[in-house]
Chain A
């Protein structure tokens, strides 16, 4: 299973991708799934097993991820 990570804006997606890569966590950027949000921007997708770690890393940097199961 995978998790979708939504953030406030594009800048935060780029920041989050960088933070995850620095922590050796594999993430990809995908279009925001339309059933989750009306955003026309970017979202991150990561393996389910990494979501707790991702949440911790991002919140430490004052980012507020919203995480959904895919």
Chain B
């Protein structure tokens, strides 16, 4: 039985081909570019095939505008610290993670950036009607967390984009990419990670920038291109990929995307367990108000037990793995009125069966 319910931290298990790809990559050897022997030609080809596959998922034409990084946090730092903040104004969605909020706080302290939170409903869903009345002409960037890592709410990106018009928009797709469709053609910046819904391994993330010339690099170094110059190349992805990339992790990510598992439970099964838990008098469930906006993650608070006590009991009594606390998203918890204690988070995997969801429900009820 799969008792791992912490897939918003990192997905587990992975498709078996992911492990095979890691082993093959280690046995094959090779790096990225720089030389012209077969093992490196192969591993370089895999990196570029993976970049093309990410472009395909995002629905963007120019895969060269996708750069690989260590993780989504590095990607968001490259964008937020690389932008020129002319108006010194950013709007953020109410469920942002600290991967966004901490770089912004750094910019607030050192560059006098003003940070405003977008109007929203009780569950953190952005209020499109109120948003459409905000004048955005002196705004540098709007940042939206596509899928919350606390209550699983999925924001309506298309409607938000329509409401803000030509104001640049950045999407944090850390939780959503691989689970939810995102038509990125109209989006200026997207950050993602490979080890959550995309089901690769840790150590690979990245970002898409529609116009990469808007960004200064954050990391400087060798790229295997323009090697006679001490300056970074002007073109993408080289401009943002100094140093040797994680070719093994990227090979694993490609294998994960090629072998995406068929979900063994339906969206209705997820909504069903959420509704059954909501009916329990001792529990408060933190979720999207509408099932249409609900992802595979939700949170629980208990009337008698703290989130950490509930987390500990689920593990020690039933071996159920979950995560308690603030989930590095204090803004989200302030929005949901679960700050500072936080919540217990349940994050499902496509491998979970309805039987395992039933088991989870029974264990929570038996605590």
Interface residue ranges, A against B (CB under 8 Å):
8-11, 13-15, 17-18, 29-31, 38-43
Number of interface residues of B (CB under 8 A): 23
Task: Say whether A31 contacts B44, CB under 8 Å.
Answer: no
Partner of B228, one of A13, A30, A38, A41: A38
Task: Say whether A31 contacts B227, CB under 8 Å.
Answer: no
Interface contacts beyond A9-B238, A14-B44: sample of 5 additional A-B pairs, CB < 8 Å, sorted by A:
A9-B223, A13-B33, A40-B222, A41-B227, A42-B34
Residue of B nearest to A10 (CB): B33
Q: Contacts of B23 on A, CB cut-off 8 Å?
A: none
Task: Say whether B233 contacts A9, CB under 8 Å.
Answer: yes
Q: Contacts of B226 on A, CB cut-off 8 Å?
A: 39
Q: Contacts of B48 on A, CB cut-off 8 Å?
A: 10-11, 14-15
- Complex: how many Å from CA A17 to CA B42? 12
Residue of B nearest to A40 (CB): B227
- The answer to whether B41 has its CB under 8 Å from any CB of chain A is yes
Q: Contacts of A18 on B, CB cut-off 8 Å?
A: 45
Task: Say whether B51 contacts A11, CB under 8 Å.
Answer: yes
- Using known A-B contacts A14-B48, A38-B227, A40-B224, determine if residue A30 contacts B36 with beta carbons closer than 8 Å: yes
Q: Contacts of B227 on A, CB cut-off 8 Å?
A: 38-41
Report B235 CB to chain A, min CB distance, Å.
Answer: 6
Task: Say whether B224 contacts A10, CB under 8 Å.
Answer: yes
- Using known A-B contacts A30-B36, A41-B33, determine if residue A9 contacts B228 with beta carbons closer than 8 Å: no
A-B contact pairs, 25 of them (CB 8 A): A9-B235, A9-B237, A10-B32, A10-B33, A10-B48, A10-B238, A11-B64, A11-B237, A13-B33, A14-B45, A14-B48, A15-B48, A29-B36, A30-B36, A31-B35, A31-B36, A38-B227, A39-B224, A39-B225, A40-B224, A41-B34, A41-B224, A42-B34, A42-B36, A42-B41
Which of A9, A17, A29, A40 neighbours the largest number of chain B CB atoms within 10 Å of its CB? A9
Bitwise, B219-241 to A at CB < 8 A (1) or not (0) is: 00011111110000101011000
Q: Contacts of B233 on A, CB cut-off 8 Å?
A: 9
- Complex: how many Å from CA A30 to CA B38? 10
Q: Contacts of B33 on A, CB cut-off 8 Å?
A: 9-10, 13, 41-42
Interface residues of B in 1-46 (CB under 8 A from A): 32-36, 41, 44-45
Residue of A nearest to B32 (CB): A10
- Complex: how many Å from CA A8 to CA B224? 10
Bitwise, B195-224 to A at CB < 8 A (1) or not (0) is: 000000000000000000000000000111
- Complex: how many Å from CA A41 to CA B225? 7
Residue of A nearest to B49 (CB): A14
Residue of B nearest to A44 (CB): B36
